[in-house]
Amino acid sequence: MMKTFNLQIAKERLDGLDTYLEEAIVKRKVLGLGISIVVDNEIIYSKGFGFRDLKKQEKTIKDTVFPIGSSTKSFTSTAIAMLVEDGLLEWDKPVKNYCSEFKFKDSYINENVTIQDILGHRTALPGHDFVWF
DSSP letter for 109, please.
H
* pLDDT on residue 3: 56
User: What integer pLDDT is reported at residue 59 of this predicted model?
Assistant: 94
Query: Measured between alpha carbons, how far is 84 from 74 in angstroms, rounded to an integer?
Result: 15
Residue 123, C-beta contacts closer than 8 angstroms, at least 6 positions apart: 104, 109, 113, 117
Tens digits of per-residue pLDDT, 13-61?
898 999 999 999 999 999 999 999 888 788 889 999 999 999 999 999 9
Tell me the average pLDDT of the chain.
86
Average the pLDDT over each of 43-47, 77-81, 121-125 and give the range with the smallest value: 121-125
> Residue 87: which region, alpha, beta or left (left: phi > 0; alpha: psi -120 to 50)?
left
